[in-house]
Structures are given as C-alpha cells and as structure tokens.
Amino acid sequence: MKIIPAILTEDFSTLKDMIELSATFTNHVQVDVMDGKFVPSISITASDLDNANAKKLFMEIHLMVDRPSDVIEDFVKAGAKKIIFHIESKEDPHEIINTIKKYKVIPSVAINPDTKIEKLDTIIDEIDSILFMTVFPGFYGSPLVPEVFEKIKKFKSKHPNIEIAVDGGVKVSNIDDFKKYPIDAICVGSAIFKAKNPKDIFIMLQEKTN
C-alpha cells in the first residue's frame, strides 16, 4: 500500500513550498485542482504548477472540475503524468479518457462517496485505476464516509485487476482501518501537510501500511 501526499491550495507560494517539502520525502504527489463549480473551492492553476518547479516529481492531477477537457492539455504541459477526472463531471467519460491518452499520460477516474459504483461499468475496460473518495471532495479535513469501504470491497471483487486508491479522512489514528480493505494507494492531505513535521507523519503512515 502506497502513501501519496495530496496537495490542495489556492496560493502559489504555498504550492511551491508544498512541492519543495514533498520532494524531501517522496517522488510522487497528487495535486488537487478545483474550479469553484464542481466543488465550492477554487485551487491553483496549471500555470501555477508550471512555475512551481514540480516536474521533478511524478504528479497525478486530481481534477475536481465540471469540464476536464478544458484543462487537461495545460496540466500535461505543466508536468502531469496521470490525470484523474470525476465520473460525475459534465463531459462524456469516454471522450475524456481518449483526450488524456492522446497526451500519453495515464487516465484514472474518481468517484464520490454517494455515487453508485455501477456508474463506472461503461469505462472499466479503458482504465487501470479508480480513486474512491472517502470524503466529500473540496476541502482539507472533511469527515470520513465509512460506507465507502463496502463499495470498495464490492468493486474489487468484480474487478480484481483494477488498482484501488482512496482519498480523504486518513490519519495516523485510523490508518489500520484502511488496511482491512483491498486498497493499493492512499492519498493523504491534511494529516501530512498540517502536521508539525510532515516528513515524520509521511514516514509513519508508510511504515504502518507496509
């Protein structure tokens, strides 16, 4: 099980600091992107990321936006190696996946806690990973929705070869609960970046999942 630090901010200087900090303990980060429509919050832009010297890391971009196709190219140019879009977005998921693949980056799909997993059925043969939101997206520190774990079990039993990642609500105090389920990667935001020593928390979380 892999721990992936999740960066969420609307401030460029904070983004740069978070990228530099992350590079001291990992080579893989998730960057959250929000348009103020799909979720209420607004975050950094592709231009911000391009100027933050982030290309030294493997970046997966979590697009919490209504229209992913409007920004995919920009984030690829900024260094994205993987693009995660929401199945609940307003565009056709097949077209989004084709657009992502056109740029030679990895496509992945995120699903919100209240969305039925059957909504993924039509695109399951086009992707290798799913990001299950274990919180309602858009903010650091949102409460965990434990019902998602049973959805993960159900999904993995039907699709054992699909990589499962989760995002949200993870803490040192509850990481053992996540280990009970067929999860391959855990994206962790506030538990790492709001800690007094983020590197120590990252190492502790990774050790607990090994």
Query: Which amino acids are annotated catalytic?
Result: 32, 167
Q: What is the H or E stretch that residue 29 is in?
A: strand 28-34
Half-sphere exposure of 117 (CA within 13 A, CB side): 19
Q: Cβ contacts of residue 50 below 8 Å, gap of 6+?
A: 77, 78, 79
DSSP 99: H
User: Are the CB atoms for 125 and 97 separated by under 8 Å?
Assistant: no
Structure tokens at 199: 């590197």
CB atoms within 10 A of CB 180: 9
What distance, in Å, lies between the first and last C-alpha atoms of the chain? 6
Q: Where are the beta strands (DSSP E) in the chain?
A: 2-7, 28-34, 58-64, 80-86, 106-111, 129-133, 163-167, 185-188
Find where tokens 């996540």 sit.
178
Helix, strand, or coil (residue 162): coil
